[in-house]
Amino acid sequence: MESIEMSKSLKEILSTPIKDTTVSEIRLQVVVGLPLPLIIIYFISLFSPYFISFSFGFLVLGVYMFFIKNIENHFDLYSEEEGKKYSFEGLCVESLLIGLIAFTSFLPFYYHFNKSFGLGVSFGFLIPGILIFIRRKIFTESSRIIEDDDNLELGYHPLAYYILGIVCGFRLLSSSALLFIKYFTKGYPSLLTSIIFLIVSILYLILILSPDLINKVIHFDLRKESSFVKYFILCNIVVEMLIFIAKFLVNFS
């Protein structure tokens, strides 16, 4: 582990941006900074034990931060051309991180209040994050195109598609979870129906988060911001249709 320069005070180390810190400094930031939110969550959980679940999310974040320098060696997290802002690959990694944090934080919390909603939100954050991370070679800066007015278009922006995945994913997966809950508590709809709807939901998420494939069969270019807005609306219309089918199966089985 690198030695921390004695000329730096603890305050300076804690206030230094992550990308400008050494391995020792970033790990000191984690060790010093992580206990405070965990302590706060603990005291809040004394009044409502469900809040303790958020500590899992902070632990995931802490582990990520602790090994951030190792992660930087494997992924190009920052774009040197834009003042060390996150690159598209960095945003893909962040999408996975957000998914893991949301999953570990919200699954226990929401599960106690509304099982189907809790499962839907948790996996609705996690699965799109995993899919975007796996296909990070597609969500790159090279997907951005320059229009006639010299404006750089959106391209296959990871965060834009991650938001799309969350919005569609948590609703579909909540409906899927509801089908399973109804089956195990009421005996309907059938287990096969529930499994098929879950498979269809996941396949649909995989499909809509594959803009390079969709772009080959539609008449507008998804790399343009205006086209993405249309695509976002269209995807949600299909989701509503699938949810309608799920509700029909629950109410009329």
Residue owning tokens 């029909």: 248
Q: Which one-letter amino acid corresponds to residue 208? A: I
In sequence order, which ranges of the chain are alpha helices (DSSP H)?
10-15, 23-33, 35-45, 54-66, 68-74, 88-111, 115-134, 158-186, 191-208, 211-214, 225-252
pTM of the model: 0.82
pLDDT tens digits along 25-67: 666 666 666 677 778 877 777 776 667 777 888 888 888 888 8
Retrieve residue 95's tokens.
């999408």
pLDDT band at 250 (very low <50, low <70, confident <90, very high): confident
- Is pLDDT above 50 for 5? no
Torsion angle (degrees, nearest 10) of CA 245, 247, 252, 253: 80
Q: Which residues of 68-84 are buried (b: 16+ CB within 10 A; e: fewer)?
A: bbeeeeeeebbbeeeee
Mean pLDDT for the chain?
Answer: 82
Cα–Cα–Cα angle for 159, 16, 6, rounded to 5 degrees:
150
pLDDT band at 8 (very low <50, low <70, confident <90, very high): low
pLDDT: is 49 or 145 the higher one? 145
With H, G, I as helix, E, B as strand and everything else as coil, classify residue 11: helix
pLDDT at residue 15, rounded to an integer:
55
pLDDT band at 202 (very low <50, low <70, confident <90, very high): very high
pLDDT at residue 3, rounded to an integer:
44
The single-letter DSSP state of residue 119 is H
pLDDT tens digits along 205-241: 999 999 999 998 888 889 888 899 999 999 999 999 9
Here the contacts of 108-111 (C-beta below 8 Å, separation 24 or greater) are 108/50, 108/52, 108/53, 108/56, 109/50, 109/51, 109/53, 109/54
Specify whether the CB–CB gap between 182 and 251 falls below 8 A.
no
pLDDT: is 146 or 89 the higher one? 89
- Is pLDDT above 90 for 73? no
pLDDT tens digits along 117-138: 888 999 999 999 999 999 999 9
- In degrees and rounded to multiples of 5, residue 113 shows phi and psi of -100, -45
Alpha-carbon span 127 to 119, nearest angstrom: 12
